[in-house]
Chain A
Amino acid sequence: MKEDMMVLPTHRVNVLTGIKSAKVIEDASEYAALIRRAKRPLLVLGPKLAEISLDGKLLLEYALEIAKVVNIPLCATSHIKGKMVELGAKPDSEYDVVEIINHLKSPAWQGVRKEGNHDLVIFFGIRTDIGNQGLSTLKHFAPHLKTMTLCKYVYPHADYSLPNFRKDAQWKEFLEKLISSLKEEK
């Protein structure tokens, strides 16, 4: 069986037991369309973005590029803000990952730009264990929003997830294609 078709996460510590699990999407343009369709998306940035680079380009740079193309507000978790500032970007909000999730849970929350709660939350660069736990919270307690991940593993508790990319090159290709699709649709 082709592994990417399975919903099993690469990191098996995150094995899901339940009936509702992520739609795994391999096609970056499909992801782009989902992001485009969202009225009030939010991009939650984790500390791994400052640690991992693909061919010399920091993941954070990909994240900032995505946010810029579609004007997605940013939430900086942990200590990622420092690196953002270095790269000349400013987060719209600073909450740690469990705090932003706690807010997202209530439909009446006004969101990071005070324009109403978000309808799509994209997670990028969070440790998979704490990330997947947080996604579980949203899956159970925030039916009013959809969640999406940009890390290279299946996140079973998200609504949309990337497949398990065996190689970083596949991940890089996905992110690049995502950015170009978002630009195209603009």
Chain B
Amino acid sequence: MTEVAEKKEKKTRRQREVEKLIRAEDQWEPIGATPMPEIPDLRNWDMRLLKTYAPWYAPFCDLCCFCTYGKCDLTECRRGACGIDIAGQQGRIILLACCMGMSAHAGHARHIIDYLIERHGEDYKIDLGSNVAVEAPHIRTVLGLKPETLGDLRTAIEYVERELIHLVSALHTGQEGSYLDYESKALHAGMLDHVGMEAADIAQIVGFKYPTSVADTPLAGLGLASIDTAKPMILVIGHNPASSTNVIDYLRQNNLYDKIEVGGICCTALETTRYSDSAKVIGPLSRQLYYVRTGMADVIMTDEQCIRTDIVEEAKKVGSALIATSDKACYGLEDATEKDIDEIVRQIVEEGKQFLILDHAKAGEVAVKVALKLAPQRKKVLISESEAQELAKVCRECEICERVCPNLFSIGHGIRQVGQGNFEPLRQLFDQCIGCGKCEEECPRHIPIFKIMQAAASKDTFKVRVGRGPIMDTEIRNVGAPIVLGTIPGVVAFVGCSNLPDIDDVVEMAEEFAKRKYIVVLSGCAAMVAGMKKDADGLTIYERYPGNFDAGGVVNVGSCVANAHITGAAMKIANIFATLPLRGNYEVIADYILNRVGAVGVAWGAYSQKAASIATGCNRLGIPVLLGPHSSKYRRLYLSKKGEDDWRVMDGRKAEVVDTGEPSPEHLLYVTETKEKAMVMISKLCIRKNDTPQGRGIKLNHYISLYKKYMGGGLPDDLHLYVRTDRDLPIVYKKEAMAYLKEVGWKPKPVLSLPTLIGTYPSKVPLEAVIH
């Protein structure tokens, strides 16, 4: 066989394999250019994005310590012994982070799908209700598969797993060298992450019969005080609902449903409230150590992700029983999966043992039985103000705690003040504290800072709207046109963890945009902290705004894996509103979103590698993400240099390249220091090339008014870049803006009929594919 024929044969073999996996004979949509893409397949799209949104690196460490050649110092353009430079090394770390984050979700997906297949069989049908026909936009778009059963979700995860091997192998010493290629691979990982998250959440929804296609989901209790401390309490921590649902099942089957309190920290809390109407959301990740150290939990049950890795010791300190249930987080505990239940319970209660139990039904039963036995023996009270004051008196305000605090708080001052009977500074700090525990760890006087915080913390209870899962197709139909035309100014998604500069930030930002009739979407810990503030009438944001995906709605989609529904909604706009086929058509869909769908992700308190991969997945799909100040430590942003960059696009209908000079969206991944700046930036990042004059006018109206409100008056100095004709100017600011435009010598710009990047870079996708 000639080399060419061999190559062809090889290609068709791969094609044939892909076609079998995605059931190509099903003709529901034509198959696009890249079904089940491998790393090189979307590389040109990535390079096009990276040309405008160049990686910006802020190394956290100047060294590479990856191999035994090193460590190598990479400062001042030095190369490592393997040849890598500092940009390459940063790209490598980013890819590593994205692979870790993506694997966490995909590992969860794989586990929950296998678990549910065992329960229901692989032919168990996916049914998300009558309002969701496009059940899996990511799986459809990336794989080209329309998943119909749990078995199909496994196919999706198997594809993610296959790709992951290639991505991780590229991290090895002496492999990839270019930072741009590392970034392209990171973007690939981010894309796969959304596939994994989608598969996980769909499996959970159908397998556990979560609410779906409901906008008005119930309100669940939020906060430690929502727990009835007179009852035994089980605290679940993590992300995987296989364990907590088994606790609930056991309670239901044994008539104990209202006799035991089940509360959760992190996403597993949101999952549990989707399964049980009496479960409580104790709070976000950042309060984990604080809640654990109150000792309120009789039993702590961990599953996977976002668990403090010292949970074993922490539980012991306060006399809570600990049961680990995931192979991802065994904590060195004895595996009791095969042991007799009563014997496990006895050893926990009488001997204070902690166990790993990998059978979820067994773990659920043990948790309940232990809680019932332990609770009567335990005294659960928060410390009093006078006790706190006594403990705080030892503080010498040495400030050692302050130096290790990632939030740079004057924690010592707060403690000292408590010693003098003034709780206010510590109360304020508590709302800003990200709960890392470093202050207490370092205090040379061993002051129990977290315990003292109990006296300062609010004892209020709050409400959070239970996660709702995917956005309905009917809702997409209603908002598709207004979003694309710009009359709904944008979709702002608050996602990510809770290491926020201030716990009130997210709710303030969400409220600002809900009031302005943006669509506000939340997930994970961000969704929880948004509920942790009440207005003068004692209502939380979830009680004041409707939960539907429409202008002015405040929507909690659910846990972190439900983030796939947010990006999925943007994809569904392309499909349902613009009738673009999703199937294997990633580039076309991403290009559509980049140019037309004014969606912005805000990870104000991102912390984990999962957040890195989620954000990177948003970026590949053309959705900009804005980060809070801690996230500068992710080391990489995607920034344009607005006035100087190449903003040419293709006018799809005329097949002509047009120089718009318009930096929209201006950045793909951006970090800012304050919520004030964040709000101004969010409004700007919602601007898209396709806005109609009316829509642009509305978007500029918000941009200018937020600028005036938070930046101190005047007009933004880049306003002229976003005005194409004077019809774009909002009426209220028209006079002022016209004067400004004249001053800077603004000239009208061409109006585009169908802006697209397709056709401006090498791609397998023909220009006709974007015309609809």
* Interface set of A (CB-CB < 8 Å, partner B): 10-13, 16-20, 46-47, 77-79, 81-86, 93-94, 96-99, 101-103, 106, 126-130, 133-134, 136-137, 139-141, 143
Q: Is B710 part of the binding interface, using a Cβ–Cβ cutoff of 8 Å?
A: yes
In the bound complex, residues from chain A placing their C-beta under 8 Å from that of B408 are: 11, 13, 127-129
Within 8 Å by CB of B633, from A19, A85, A129, lies A129
Query: Once bound together, how far apart are the Cα atoms of A106 and B632, in whole Å?
Result: 20
Q: Count of B residues near A, CB < 8 Å?
A: 44
* Interface set of B (CB-CB < 8 Å, partner A): 56-63, 73-77, 86-87, 403-406, 408, 629-630, 632-633, 635, 637, 639, 641, 670-674, 676-677, 680-681, 710-714, 716-717
Query: Once bound together, how far apart are the Cα atoms of A99 and B713, in whole Å?
Result: 21
Contact (Cβ within 8 A) A140 B75: yes
Contact (Cβ within 8 A) A83 B639: no
Question: A10-B403, A79-B712, A85-B713 in contact; A133/B58 too (CB < 8 A)?
Answer: yes
CB-nearest residue of chain B to A81: B712
Query: Once bound together, how far apart are the Cα atoms of A81 and B677, in whole Å?
Result: 11
Contact (Cβ within 8 A) B61 A84: no
28 contacts between A and B (CB under 8 A): A13-B404, A18-B63, A18-B73, A18-B75, A19-B73, A47-B673, A47-B674, A47-B676, A78-B673, A78-B676, A79-B677, A79-B710, A81-B712, A85-B713, A85-B714, A98-B632, A98-B671, A98-B672, A99-B639, A106-B641, A129-B406, A129-B629, A130-B632, A133-B633, A136-B60, A140-B59, A140-B62, A140-B75
Contact (Cβ within 8 A) B630 A129: yes
For the residues of A in contact with B, the DSSP-based class is helix
CB-nearest residue of chain A to B678: A78
Query: Once bound together, how far apart are the Cα atoms of A83 and B712, in whole Å?
Result: 7
Residue among A11, A17, A78, A141 facing the most chain B CB atoms (10 A cut-off)? A78
5 new A-B contacts at CB < 8 Å, known A96-B677, A127-B629: A12-B403, A79-B677, A82-B712, A94-B716, A137-B56
Contact (Cβ within 8 A) A98 B639: yes
Tell me the smallest distance from the CB of A118 to a CB of chain B, in Å.
16
Contact (Cβ within 8 A) B58 A16: no
Question: A20-B62, A130-B671 in contact; A82/B713 too (CB < 8 A)?
Answer: yes
Contact (Cβ within 8 A) B58 A11: no
Contact (Cβ within 8 A) A81 B673: no
In the bound complex, residues from chain A placing their C-beta under 8 Å from that of B403 are: 10-12
Tell me the smallest distance from the CB of B94 to a CB of chain A, in Å.
14
In the bound complex, residues from chain A placing their C-beta under 8 Å from that of B56 are: 98, 101-102, 137
In the bound complex, residues from chain A placing their C-beta under 8 Å from that of B641 are: 102-103, 106
Contact (Cβ within 8 A) A78 B674: yes
In the bound complex, residues from chain B placing their C-beta under 8 Å from that of A78 are: 672-674, 676-677
Residue among A17, A94, A133 facing the most chain B CB atoms (10 A cut-off)? A133
Query: Once bound together, how far apart are the Cα atoms of A126 and B670, in whole Å?
Result: 16
Tell me the smallest distance from the CB of A181 to a CB of chain B, in Å.
29
Query: Once bound together, how far apart are the Cα atoms of A110 and B670, in whole Å?
Result: 23
Query: Once bound together, how far apart are the Cα atoms of A82 and B710, in whole Å?
Result: 8
Query: Once bound together, how far apart are the Cα atoms of A19 and B62, in whole Å?
Result: 8
